[in-house]
Structure 1
């Protein structure tokens, strides 16, 4: 029997969304902007995996930086809550569901009132498989419309909507109080989203949704440049990282090609930290090499 995946997915997340509201309010009630030094960074999709590691390293590497970490269910994000205990003054946890635009708008409003600007936005969320709901397609005959739509909604549409609503904050953060003259949007893509590098086929929903993210990000980067906004956009491939996303598919990955979260995020942050205006709209692998479209 075919599954209607989008309704199933939303029903699965509804209960966590409702439970999160009460706890989020305790983190995000500041009525006046605090004084701070260093970058204000936002990591979208921060409850686990690469996103959580980005939050951890951003807090540890910049002792004056503030980090906004967003996820669907902050109440259940144990890793973030542990970091909140350690970095109480510099970590702000907010509820944001990529599939519910009003939560993106609400987050943008809260950040505007609290910080007024963003220096860095990392869109780290992504889905490859969900047990009994979504699996990478190994053949054309396994493609379903609902699988494609779900992958597009989370992997491509959501990150661009976040960028849209954070745009005014990023413009305000471009070069303000930092050594950089631009704010940065870093969207986590994947090498399998490259059309030019596609040699094996398969994984239709994941590949095409990441290719869509690449095109949307490239298009946004050109608009920012045309408007002379102090913002650059990067697309980043983290490599094959030992996370929940890749774990079911690691069987044939050589040990030397399976990275820890710590290693991958360290490499990606190096790319972000060294990015210049001429890197706007480029697609980089974890080792700094450009990936063909």
Structure 2
């Protein structure tokens, strides 16, 4: 329990300031010499992003920064924060807005010395009543392409750009090494593989995920060339029971439709086993490599 003087002071301050004071208090209670591992989940208000936050918080000595476009409307995240013992921060970030990304990075850098993991989870496949995957060339249009590329391809690389300095500091702060580097994990999809494409369709989504993979590969090569212990991996979670996949689940075999809990558990296992040798890899939920 918090000391009486701190509890009284907390009751007189705003919710955001209360949380900041709690974070500081619990950080001061950590064992001497023990560095908390820090993960940032971009796109954390629902679906896989929310589940990543939940499972990361279940790990000992782990702090989580959850970002989303509208923190005030993210009730599930706020509830998690209330029960997190000060280990969860919620930060506003819109991955389609460069200023918003820069502001989020500035805010995080003022409260945290480093990052061990950046998870780019936000993605788009369909917008009810406005956009759905194109099954024919005749259905392709500029708006669909822009939406998909903006969120699925541009978002992860722009977020990675702003938070890379904090990931680079993991070597000094938490001992990131070639065998246990800081990690950028971008949620991709098998349909982004060009050589694996035998069905066609889904033009904008496929292309945006292919672009995301190329951008991620470029980052992996650059970090290695600079001898920075930051690994970049692209992860295919399989077909997961979320709002993203719900309209397209009818032809998915039950054993191939994963729960959010299973999918995130599998992906975190891959992330935890990532080394610099694996940087630049496109990996499926079962650990198998996917051809580009």
Q: TM-score range by the shorter chain?
A: 0.7 to 0.9
Which residue of the partner structure matches residue 195 of structure 1?
194
Contact 1:71 1:95 in 2 (8 A): yes
Higher-Rg structure is 2
Which residue of the partner structure matches residue 7 of structure 1?
none
Alignment map for 1:176-255 (pairs within 5 Å)? 176-177=173-174, 181-255=180-254
SS in structure 2 at match of 1:40: strand
SS in structure 1 at match of 2:231: strand
Which residue of the partner structure matches residue 13 of structure 1?
none
Which residue of the partner structure matches residue 269 of structure 1?
268
1 CA distance for matches of 2:21 and 2:215? 33
Which residue of the partner structure matches residue 152 of structure 1?
149
SS in structure 2 at match of 1:244: coil
Deviation at 1:277, TM superposition (A): 1.1
TM-score, with structure 1 as normaliser? 0.88
Alignment map for 1:50-199 (pairs within 5 Å)? 50-60=48-58, 62-174=59-171, 176-177=173-174, 181-199=180-198
TM-score, with structure 2 as normaliser? 0.88
2 CA distance for matches of 1:246 and 1:263? 16
Which residue of the partner structure matches residue 40 of structure 2?
42
CA offset digits 1:219-270 (Å, max 9, x no partner): 1110011111110100000000000000011010000000000001000000
2 CA distance for matches of 1:81 and 1:134? 30
**Matched pairs, number:** 271
Deviation at 1:24, TM superposition (A): 6.5
Q: Which runs of 5+ in 1 are unaligned?
A: 1-21
1 CA distance for matches of 2:193 and 2:19? 39
Q: Which runs of 5+ in 2 are unaligned?
A: 1-13
Contact 1:23 1:75 in 2 (8 A): no
